Amino acid sequence: MMIVTMQPGASVAQIGAVLRHCQERDLRPVPSHGTERTVIGVIHADQRTDLSAVASLPGVDQVTPVSAALQLVSREFRDEPTVVHVGGVAIGGPEFVVMAGPCSVETEAQINACARQVGACGGRILRGGAYKPRTSPYSFQGLGEEGLQLLTAAGRAVGLPTVTEVMHPDLVETVARYADILQIGARNVQNYALLSAVGRVRKPVLLKRGLMTTIEELLMAAEYILAGGNGQVILCERGIRTFETSVRNTLDVSAVPVIKSQSHLPVILDPSHAAGKREFVPALALASLAAGADGIMVEMHPVPEEAYSDGRQSLDFPGFAALMDSLRPVGAALGRHVAAVRPDLTEASA
Ligand code: PEP
Ligand code: MN
């Protein structure tokens, strides 16, 4: 790849001419419009292609060849943080965004109650699995498309965008028809067909780190999505497999500063799948905020003991409300905003 840095005042026509020049030569230009200048990453499969002509086009400031595997995700390509916008929520900006909901969408009443509680407490995005990656083939596999319908309707009723997992390239279109954010689960982080498929979609992607993937491998997985033309990627650390057995996975808090130093993409943490036990979730959530994450994704259930999946790690409603209340003052001390409770959704006004 090479990085074409345009001059600060380069015109739309000059940028367009560079894009056309590349396209006519079978090069794939990926523009990134910053506040000061536009930078264009140019992907070329053939390393012998002569790229020198680009440097002399009007408006071009500099052409830098890059050889590393990390390109579009890197800070060298784009130094400004990427902010992912979804339904009025900005992930990667000053707000610490809380995504919450049940592990699985189970019934209409269950997801509606969750949506209301998430919104009431200041959660900004509703999660809920409809296609579930279960370790055992005999465990509940999710409600499928019906789950997507219930999730979207529940989110809409309280004004929350939704995030849900897509497990197969063939299902990307269906899931994208309902959900606002497409989740790639930990087990699929290196499913390159799936990554390429969500790269072609114009909806944000939440990419979870695998149980056994390094940060570099996670970033390269994200590179597939960006190279496919979708720059709206949120990375998620959800605990990795270590020798420790007292928690389900070990939350790698260091992933936050490491990723931030290498990439412009927003990073959230998932304390629920890391802890595996609800009593440890609040501490890890607070650590996520303190470490500089852009948000968290938390599992919550009206009756955790009866959940079809991940009940042991799911907060109950009062637990979630208490967590939200504990995040606010810490966020304020750190200059991160945590959304306020919504009186329109609290019990009294129901
Ligand atoms: C989930 O979010 O419910 C989930 C299955 O997560 P992970 O892919 O991180 O295990
Ligand atoms: Mn889960």
Residue 70 domain-assigned (yes or no): no
Q: Which atom of ligand 1 is nearest to the CA of 132?
A: 5
Higher pLDDT, 68 or 164: 164
Question: CA 344, CA 155: separation in Å to the nearest integer?
Answer: 15
The residue to mutate among 188, 208, 251, having the most atoms of ligand 1 within 8 angstroms of its beta carbon, is 208
CATH number at residue 34: 3.30.70.1140
In this structure, are 56 and 89 located in the same domain?
no
Of 59-68, 208-217, 290-299, 315-324, the one with minimum mean pLDDT is: 59-68
pLDDT at 47 over 80: no
CA distances from 53 to 13, 24, 58, 133, 266 (A): 17, 13, 11, 49, 35
CATH number at residue 169: 3.20.20.70
**Cβ contact 32:78 at 8 Å:** yes
Query: Would you state the pLDDT for residue 69?
Result: 65
In this structure, are 23 and 93 located in the same domain?
no
Residue 93 domain-assigned (yes or no): yes
Read off the pLDDT of each residue in 299-319 and give the average, rounded to a whole number: 98
Kindly report, residue by residue over 94-139, the tens digit of the pLDDT: 999 999 999 999 999 999 999 999 999 999 999 999 999 999 999 9
Share of residues in the chain with pLDDT > 90 (%): 86
Residue 79 domain-assigned (yes or no): no
Question: CA 267, CA 227: separation in Å to the nearest integer?
Answer: 19
Q: Give the Å distance between the CA of 186 and the centre of ligand 1.
A: 6
In this structure, are 116 and 54 located in the same domain?
no
Q: Which atom of ligand 1 is nearest to the CA of 129?
A: 3
Query: Would you state the pLDDT for residue 51?
Result: 75
Is residue 129 lining ligand 1, measured as CB closer than 6 Å?
Answer: yes
Query: Would you state the pLDDT for residue 65?
Result: 80
Three-state SS at 274? helix
Is residue 133 lining ligand 1, measured as CB closer than 6 Å?
Answer: yes
Query: Would you state the pLDDT for residue 53?
Result: 87
Q: Give the Å distance between the CA of 244 and the centre of ligand 1.
A: 19
Q: Going by CA atoms, what residue is nearest to atom 4 of ligand 1?
A: 185
Read off the pLDDT of each residue in 164-172 and give the average, rounded to a whole number: 98
Q: How confident is the model at residue 300 (pLDDT cuts 50, 70, 90)?
A: very high
- Picking from 181, 155, 127, 182, the residue whose alpha carbon sits closest to that of residue 300 is 127
Range of the domain at 312: 84-349
Is residue 208 lining ligand 1, measured as CB closer than 6 Å?
Answer: yes
Q: Hey, how many other C-beta atoms are within 10 angstroms of the C-beta on 53?
A: 10
Q: What is the CA radius of gyration of the chain?
A: 21
Q: Which atom of ligand 1 is nearest to the CA of 185?
A: 8
Q: Mean pLDDT, the chain, as a whole number? A: 95
Give the strand pairing for 267-269 and 28-33.
Answer: unpaired
In this structure, are 178 and 279 located in the same domain?
yes
The residue to mutate among 141, 184, 270, 299, having the most atoms of ligand 1 within 8 angstroms of its beta carbon, is 270
In this structure, are 54 and 105 located in the same domain?
no
195-214 exposure pattern, b = at least 16 Cβ within 10 A, e = fewer: bbbbbebebbbbbbbbbebe
In this structure, are 89 and 45 located in the same domain?
no
Higher pLDDT, 34 or 85: 85
Query: Would you state the pLDDT for residue 50?
Result: 72
Residue 318 domain-assigned (yes or no): yes
In this structure, are 27 and 159 located in the same domain?
no
Residue 120 domain-assigned (yes or no): yes
Task: Copy the structure tokens of residue 298.
Answer: 């938390």
Q: Which atom of ligand 1 is nearest to the CA of 186?
A: 8
Query: Would you state the pLDDT for residue 28?
Result: 86
Query: Would you state the pLDDT for residue 348?
Result: 57
Question: Helix 317-334 crosses helix 281-291 at what angle (to 10 degrees)?
Answer: 20
Residue 77 domain-assigned (yes or no): no
In this structure, are 7 and 155 located in the same domain?
no
Q: How confident is the model at residue 44 (pLDDT cuts 50, 70, 90)?
A: confident
Q: Give the Å distance between the CA of 162 and the centre of ligand 2.
A: 15
Query: Would you state the pLDDT for residue 122?
Result: 98
Q: Give the Å distance between the CA of 105 and the centre of ligand 1.
A: 13
Residues with CB under 5 A from ligand 2 (ion): 103, 310
Q: Give the Å distance between the CA of 203 and the centre of ligand 2.
A: 22
pLDDT at 45 over 70: no
The residue to mutate among 163, 175, 238, 310, having the most atoms of ligand 1 within 8 angstroms of its beta carbon, is 238
In the chain, the number of structural domains is: 2
Residue 71 domain-assigned (yes or no): no
Is residue 273 lining ligand 1, measured as CB closer than 6 Å?
Answer: yes
Kindly report, residue by residue over 57-74, the tens digit of the pLDDT: 999 999 888 766 668 999
In this structure, are 40 and 100 located in the same domain?
no
pLDDT at 254 over 60: yes
In this structure, are 253 and 139 located in the same domain?
yes
Q: Which atom of ligand 1 is nearest to the CA of 309?
A: 3
Residue 260 domain-assigned (yes or no): yes
Is residue 186 lining ligand 1, measured as CB closer than 6 Å?
Answer: yes
Read off the pLDDT of each residue in 331-349 and give the average, rounded to a whole number: 90
In this structure, are 128 and 46 located in the same domain?
no
Which of 65, 94, 120 represents a domain boundary (last residue)? Answer: 65
Is residue 274 lining ligand 1, measured as CB closer than 6 Å?
Answer: no
Q: Going by CA atoms, what residue is nearest to atom 10 of ligand 1?
A: 186
In this structure, are 14 and 106 located in the same domain?
no
